[in-house]
């Protein structure tokens, strides 16, 4: 066998008998991986005169990029909005457990909390690569506390804040640090929000609009200042109205700056959004749809009482409510469930459903050159799925980190 040593001693793995999601299509070709990256086989054959060291028969599985969850509040008994002594072991547990649901990277999300919670929790979140230990951490998503009281949803009112005279300094004082922050959700109708959006965007932080009573022109102004995301579309915002469609109107607005795309999160769990609303959003702006779980500590646990930050939450089947109310508070859906529900509800292609949980969140965060695709030289974070879009195996950096136990099926 020709030597691969001219370029690298690392073994080359060839995944055969599979359908790869590449360029928006499932393509029947092999996937080549070396040193945690997707390899271009042509370069391997012609430039290096190399070949595979290991061949793996995928038995006609679909191979798709790993899922990226940009809004997850916790799971499996862990609540990211609670400052605990063992916070790090909690985040490790969640990152390990979500591998079985196809999530290879995520943004741990904190709901509106007192400043002391941000000051304790944020220093314990660090951006890191995924691996056998669990999914990679892309940075925190801070959902609140600069949001509307009228649309606070499950956020505790006593934690909500407005921007004072030194608006950005006020935000910094509240959070303590922005070192590991990837996304901030705020209400754009708040006074002084424009300067905050500009400052966050300047620092490479994604600004999302949510928990808001903003009208369309306020939302458009926020986008012109740099906002690029909408937090859980339809939930915790003004309902669509034909004379002023509010934030929802951004999906078809003609005032989005040239070359900019607005993305929007959808909780596709069959509870938060009626399938008809999911279809309307998808048909209006398919390339912006990002599937999120908005999962809470109770995901993966039995029904009963759990927490979401400062609130007690009751889980009843797939419904989660603030205890004693009918206010929805996050979901207990896993990402693979959301992908399947989205495909079923919209009738979209398998490729479209998979990209809504991989390519689109990567594009939102500006990391599509390394995550969310199976292009050559991108990170070898991928899934093997069957035709029903059930995850059979999860790989990070080309290494298998989870596999379905066939005996347990």
Q: Is there a single domain that holds both residue 379 and residue 272?
A: no
How large is the average pLDDT for residues 175-196? 97
Q: Is there a single domain that holds both residue 392 and residue 294?
A: no
Consult the annotation and say whether 154 binds a ligand: yes
Q: Is there a single domain that holds both residue 296 and residue 399?
A: no
Q: Is there a single domain that holds both residue 220 and residue 353?
A: yes
Triad 256, 260, 265: Cα angle to 5°: 90
Residue 105 to residue 127: CA distance in whole angstroms? 10
User: Is residue 7 a part of any domain in this protein?
Assistant: no
Q: Is there a single domain that holds both residue 337 and residue 390?
A: no
351, two tokens: 């490729």
Per the annotation, the verdict on 170 as an active-site residue is: no
Consult the annotation and say whether 171 binds a ligand: no
User: Is residue 4 a part of any domain in this protein?
Assistant: no
pLDDT digits (tens, 9 = 90+) for 128-159: 999 999 999 999 999 999 999 999 999 999 99
Residue 343, domain CATH: 3.20.20.140
Asked whether the CA dihedral 263, 264, 265, 267 is positive or negative, the reply is: negative
pLDDT digits (tens, 9 = 90+) for 283-337: 999 999 999 999 999 999 999 999 999 999 999 888 999 999 999 999 999 999 9
Residue 389, domain CATH: 2.30.40.10
Q: Is there a single domain that holds both residue 138 and residue 18?
A: no
Consult the annotation and say whether 236 binds a ligand: yes
Specify the number of domains making up the chain: 2
175, two tokens: 């959070």
27, two tokens: 């393509």
Consult the annotation and say whether 272 binds a ligand: yes
Asked whether the CA dihedral 386, 303, 92, 143 is positive or negative, the reply is: positive
Q: Is there a single domain that holds both residue 146 and residue 215?
A: yes
Residue 66 to residue 57: CA distance in whole angstroms? 19
Consult the annotation and say whether 143 binds a ligand: yes
- What's the confidence (pLDDT) of residue 2? 45
Helical spans, DSSP H, in 239-299: 275-284
196, two tokens: 């905050």
Percent of the chain's residues with pLDDT above 90:
92
C-alpha to C-alpha distances, 8 to 32, 35, 79, 235, 379, nearest whole angstrom: 14, 9, 43, 50, 17
User: Is residue 293 a part of any domain in this protein?
Assistant: yes
- What's the confidence (pLDDT) of residue 180? 97
Consult the annotation and say whether 126 binds a ligand: no
User: Is residue 106 a part of any domain in this protein?
Assistant: yes
Helical spans, DSSP H, in 155-274: 167-175, 193-202, 216-224
Residues 154 and 143: beta-carbon distance below 8 Å: no
Q: Is there a single domain that holds both residue 234 and residue 338?
A: yes
Q: Is there a single domain that holds both residue 333 and residue 392?
A: no
Q: Which of 35, 141, 91, 38 is nearest to 361 (CA)?
A: 141
Q: Is there a single domain that holds both residue 131 and residue 228?
A: yes
Residue 166 to residue 302: CA distance in whole angstroms? 45
Catalytic residue among 294, 336, 379, 381: 294
Q: Which domain holds residue 85?
A: 66-365
Q: Is there a single domain that holds both residue 44 and residue 124?
A: no
Q: Is there a single domain that holds both residue 150 and residue 229?
A: yes
């Amino acid at each position: 066998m020709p030597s691969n040593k001219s370029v690298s001693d690392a073994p080359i793995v060839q995944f055969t008998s599979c359908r790869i999601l590449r360029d928006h299509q499932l393509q029947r070709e092999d996937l080549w991986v070396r040193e945690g990256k997707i390899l271009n086989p042509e370069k391997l054959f012609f430039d290096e005169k190399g070949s595979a060291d290991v061949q793996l028969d995928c038995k006609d599985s679909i191979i798709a990029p790993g899922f990226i969850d940009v809004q997850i509040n916790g799971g499996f008994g862990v609540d990211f909005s609670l400052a605990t002594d063992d916070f790090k072991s909690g985040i490790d547990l969640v990152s390990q457990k979500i591998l079985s649901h196809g999530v290879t990277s995520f943004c741990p999300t904190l709901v509106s909390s007192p400043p002391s919670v941000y000051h304790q929790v944020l220093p314990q979140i660090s951006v890191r690569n995924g691996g056998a230990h669990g999914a990679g951490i892309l940075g925190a998503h801070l959902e609140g506390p600069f949001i509307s009281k009228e649309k606070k949803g499950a956020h505790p009112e006593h934690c909500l804040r407005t921007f004072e005279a030194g608006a950005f300094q006020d935000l910094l004082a509240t959070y303590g640090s922005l070192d590991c922050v990837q996304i901030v959700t705020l209400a754009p109708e708040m006074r002084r929000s424009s300067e905050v959006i500009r400052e966050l965007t300047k620092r490479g932080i994604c600004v999302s609009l949510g928990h808001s009573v903003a009208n369309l022109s306020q939302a458009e102004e926020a986008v012109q200042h740099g906002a690029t995301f909408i937090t859980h579309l339809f939930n915790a915002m003004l309902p669509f109205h034909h004379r002023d469609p509010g934030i929802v109107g951004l999906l078809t607005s003609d005032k989005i700056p040239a070359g900019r795309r607005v993305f929007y999160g959808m909780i596709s769990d069959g509870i938060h959004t009626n399938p008809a609303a999911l279809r309307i959003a998808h048909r209006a702006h398919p390339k912006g749809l990002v599937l999120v779980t908005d999962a809470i500590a109770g995901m993966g646990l039995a029904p009963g009482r759990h927490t979401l930050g400062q609130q007690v939450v009751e889980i009843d089947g797939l419904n989660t409510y603030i205890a004693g109310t009918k206010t929805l508070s996050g979901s207990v859906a896993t990402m693979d469930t959301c992908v399947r529900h989205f495909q079923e509800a919209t009738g979209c292609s398998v490729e479209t459903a998979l990209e809504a949980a991989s390519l689109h969140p990567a594009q939102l965060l500006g990391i599509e050159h390394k995550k969310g695709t199976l292009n050559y030289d991108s990170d070898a974070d991928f899934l093997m799925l069957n035709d029903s879009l059930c995850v059979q195996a999860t790989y990070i950096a080309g290494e298998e980190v989870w596999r379905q136990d066939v005996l347990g099926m």
